[in-house]
Amino acid sequence: MNLRFFAAFFSLFVSLTAGASQPTLQAQKLALESFYRNYLDNLGSPSSLEEGALLFSQSLRDLIQKHDATCPKDEVCAWGSAGDPFLDAQDYGDDLKFANSQFSIREVAGDNQTVFEVTFTLDPKDNDSYYARTIQYIARPEGNGWAIDDMVYLNGGTERSLRSELSK
């Protein structure tokens, strides 16, 4: 699973921002929504991340590589190996698709950074708050566009940063 996620970081944001000095916030928001539309509609498919992948900042990609390189081969510790990082879960409803996920995205205030908050449900048939997910994507300018520099998981009454978890 780790290789599948690591291979997913490079195309959508580059294609949406090519030729622009800095993309608008609306373009950034649409790119993230497009990623989730493709991702949720192709869950379980080996190709679910081949198109419309997220672009992570170089520093976050470096941190993922460094973390994964120190992970012993007989342990489940590589990024994405213990659960789906884009769902913040190991499992989801069999019929989960973008259209029934109650997906929403909004810009929230951040400390000198762009923050998009994504919310959705893992199981459209069950209204239990256990299945509700909130992930904040911290974005920053990089190259001719923007890139995700951190993911903050806000589920189960806790706040977990991908950067912090990878740095442990």
- Confidence class for position 2, pLDDT limits 50, 70, 90: very low
**Which pLDDT does position 68 carry in this prediction?**
81
Residue ranges per structural domain of the chain = 2-167
**Which pLDDT does position 33 carry in this prediction?**
93
> DSSP states of 48-69 as a string?
TTTSSPPPBPHHHHHHHHHHHH
| Dihedral angle sign, alpha carbons of residues 57, 23, 11, 134 | positive
**Which pLDDT does position 22 carry in this prediction?**
52
| Complete edge-to-edge strand list for the sheet that includes strand 160-161 | 104-108, 114-121, 132-142, 145-153, 160-161
Higher pLDDT, 14 or 26: 26
Higher pLDDT, 31 or 168: 31
**Which pLDDT does position 45 carry in this prediction?**
75
The mean-pLDDT minimum among 50-59, 79-88, 124-133, 134-143 falls in 50-59
pLDDT above 50 for 18: no
**Which pLDDT does position 75 carry in this prediction?**
72
Higher pLDDT, 4 or 99: 99
The mean-pLDDT minimum among 8-22, 27-41, 72-86 falls in 8-22
User: How confident is the model over 148-164, as a mean pLDDT?
Assistant: 88
Give per-residue pLDDT as tens, 98-141: 999 999 999 987 777 889 999 999 999 998 888 999 999 998 88
